[in-house]
Amino acid sequence: MPVVRVALPIPLPQLFDYLAEDASAADIGHCVRVPFGHGEKSGLILALPERTELDPARLKPVAYIQRDVPALPPDWIELVEFTACYYHAPLGEVIALALPPGLRRAKAPAKRRKAKTRAPDDAPPPAAALPTLTAGQAAALATCCAAEGFAAWLLAGVTGSGKTEVYLRLAANALAAGKQVLMLVPEIALTPQLEARVHDRFPAAHIVSLHSALAPGARARGFVQALTGEADIVLGTRLAVFAPLPRPGLFLIDEEHDASYKQQEGIRYSARDLAIWRAHQHGVAVVLGSATPALESWRHAQDGRYRLLTLPARARAAALPTVKTVDTRRCRLDEGFGPQLLAALAAHLERGEQSLVFLNRRGYAPVLSCPACGWVSQCPHCSANRVVHLADRRLRCHHCGAEAPIPRACPVCGNQDIHPYGYGTQRIEAKLKTLFPSARILRLDRDAARTRARWESLLATIAAGEADILVGTQMMAKGHDFPLLTLVGVLGADASLHAADFRAPERLFQQLMQVGGRAGRAELPGEVLIQTEYPEHPLYRCLTRHDFAAFAALELDARHAAAFPPFSFQAMLKADAPQLADAVDFLRQARQLAAKYAHATSAVRVFDPVPMRLTRLARRERAQLLLEADRRAALQDFLSRWLEEVRALRPPRELRWQVDVDPLEV
């Protein structure tokens, strides 16, 4: 009787064999339900082995092979196999991650969707007139279109340079050639404008959105439409990189520097890097776009692995906004605002233009404290303070969510005179309301935009010109195009200047350039004011000159000197447990195992286990062990062998550990 080999979502690297009476090679790539332990599990058939190492008499039969959904093709199985191999994750778990949860319940569409294939007498929906390309856009397109086969393009275009127009033209070419397009965006909900633009441009195309906020049924349906080739464009977030595409023609990655492309829990894959791998697998182009490329990508463009396309000027606006630093050591701040920023806000308000005050910290104040005894509103579960939320009078931990009412008096000494310290968006909003009582002030952060509908209505209010001053977090830094927005004021940026993470300056520069890039995108000129105590800091100097290349060169020099990525390759073993000693002890044992590979360890540096910066999170103590190598292959080779032994360790039951390849936070 035929045997099928199945990948199951369990934390073990092996595959499992089952009997399947009527199975044939055509079943490879089908979902299957099998008995496992005392219950059943769903998995994927990967092979029909000639022989099985187990006694066939002891094999159990499969419960059900789901043949009404088309099989996942071999190139898709290669993709998940590569992911499992590169990120050192069990294949069955990668498959469970890559397949939408509702897929097993999904039915293949009975009929092609008729609405999308136009009847002859049915006039095509009028497509909007295409804008005349800017010189930069035309040149980038010409270069890109002249190439054939695999190429990774880095489209480095200043904010407002019209990168989206380049994506859309390239997508049009691919569609015209009968191919599918995969377009990845950081967070669909943040930029409904982009989704609308894609739909407007290709009214006759079948466009599928894939993101985690979709209901399981919709996500499974979109996935199947990609798989059957019915979908022409798949537009999605990180997880959409696993959409099967029978005729892929183009991969697009918007805002390729965005950290949300890297999954930060479970299997820590990078959707950007996997998309590049897929483009290579299929011999097609991949375009990575950003105004502030990741330094890894920028370096690849310098050394010729990626090909650089630049858009040096804005498409609509005459110029980039003027960016100035305001030295706050020389002025008195009124609740965080210096006189220069206040004057600018008043002037833009007077002219009927919109302003944005950017502060990447939500809540009213980051901490509540008692000046008499020194009590602070620490989270009982994390090594972090709970944030004051005045709107609903709660203290809330932004890491674990623990909350409590704001106490009337110090819980330790009873002092009634306790104070919020520092500023969050709610406090800035309150201050602006007293300063500009006639202005329409709108706060945009995760508290104000709890649902997608609420967020979209906030964005619509701005687009309609029904708000004068916006107060926003990094949600406001991404992709938005508001023609009336002409002033961006930045508060509290210095806090990131001295962070310990070596990527902190890169992130700060990206964030400020992106948020500043929201100013003056149309006819009205834009202005950016950054309040800082370090106006001479090279990061700010590069920023005021819009000089990403100079900043990148400085940072890359520093990274080179310290042998940090992209000049080395890193992986991290992380452990967490109720007791810090257990986590550290486990990592120490793992480190000792590494010593065995003397020949490999000369190519791989294994550091000492250390507590993570946010050591305690949701009652668990966390530690990490960093590995570093000069060559990716050396690191990969080492990880394969070492992790096999780490898996054989027997840590305390409550301990959990994970491996993070190419970690973004170290």
Residues lying near ligand ADP in the complex (CB under 6 A)? 131-134, 137, 157, 159-165, 315-316, 481, 521
Q: Is 614 in the site for Zn ion (CB under 5 A)?
A: no
Query: Which of ligand ADP, Zn ion, none does residue 165 bind to, with CB < 5 to 8 Å depending on kind?
Result: ligand ADP
Q: Is 410 in the site for Zn ion (CB under 5 A)?
A: yes
Q: Closest Cα to residue 571, out of 622, 535, 530, 606?
A: 606
Q: Is 400 in the site for Zn ion (CB under 5 A)?
A: yes
Q: Shortest distance, CB of residue 617 to Zn ion, whole angstroms?
A: 7
Burial class (CB in 10 A: 0-12, 13-18, 19+), 331: middle
Give the residue with the Cβ less far from Zn ion, 365 or 594.
365
Give the residue with the Cβ less far from Zn ion, 208 or 397.
397
- Contacting Zn ion (CB under 5 A), which of 205, 370, 584, 623? 370
Q: Shortest distance, CB of residue 451 to ligand ADP, whole angstroms?
A: 25
Q: Is 395 in the site for Zn ion (CB under 5 A)?
A: no
One DSSP character per residue, 446-462 reads TTT--SHHHHHHHHHHH
Query: Which of Zn ion, ligand ADP, none does residue 552 bind to, with CB < 5 to 8 Å depending on kind?
Result: none
Distance of alpha carbon 641 from alpha carbon 594, whole angstroms: 9
Q: Shortest distance, CB of residue 542 to ligand ADP, whole angstroms?
A: 19
What are the tokens at 34?
């099998």
- The site for Zn ion, by CB under 5 A, has a size of 15
Q: What angle do CA 215, 217, 221 make, to 5 degrees?
A: 120
Name the packing angle between helices 271-282 and 74-86 (round to 10°).
140
- Identity of the residue numbered 657: W
The stretch among 137-145, 146-154, 237-245, 366-374 that binds Zn ion (CB under 5 A) is: 366-374
Q: Is 389 in the site for Zn ion (CB under 5 A)?
A: no
- Contacting Zn ion (CB under 5 A), which of 19, 342, 402, 550? 402
Q: Shortest distance, CB of residue 163 to ligand ADP, whole angstroms?
A: 4
Q: Shortest distance, CB of residue 291 to ligand ADP, whole angstroms?
A: 6
Max intra-chain CA distance, the chain:
84
Distance of alpha carbon 308 from alpha carbon 310, whole angstroms: 6
Distance of alpha carbon 1 from alpha carbon 7, whole angstroms: 20
- Contacting Zn ion (CB under 5 A), which of 108, 172, 342, 375? 375
Q: Is 607 in the site for Zn ion (CB under 5 A)?
A: no
Query: Which of Zn ion, ligand ADP, none does residue 133 bind to, with CB < 5 to 8 Å depending on kind?
Result: ligand ADP
Q: What angle do CA 193, 195, 197 make, to 5 degrees?
A: 70
Distance of alpha carbon 45 from alpha carbon 32, whole angstroms: 7
Distance of alpha carbon 303 from alpha carbon 378, whole angstroms: 47
Asked if the peptide bond before residue 566 counts as cis, ω within 30 degrees of 0, the response is yes
- Contacting Zn ion (CB under 5 A), which of 311, 397, 442, 444? 397
Q: Is 399 in the site for Zn ion (CB under 5 A)?
A: yes
The stretch among 199-207, 372-380, 476-484, 652-660 that binds Zn ion (CB under 5 A) is: 372-380
Query: Which of ligand ADP, Zn ion, none does residue 373 bind to, with CB < 5 to 8 Å depending on kind?
Result: Zn ion
- Identity of the residue numbered 2: P
Q: Is 324 in the site for Zn ion (CB under 5 A)?
A: no
The DSSP symbol for 75 reads H
Asked if 34 and 69 count as a contact pair (C-beta separation under 8 A), the reply is no
Residues near Zn ion (CB under 5 A) are 370, 372-373, 375, 379, 381-382, 397, 399-400, 402, 410, 412-413, 415
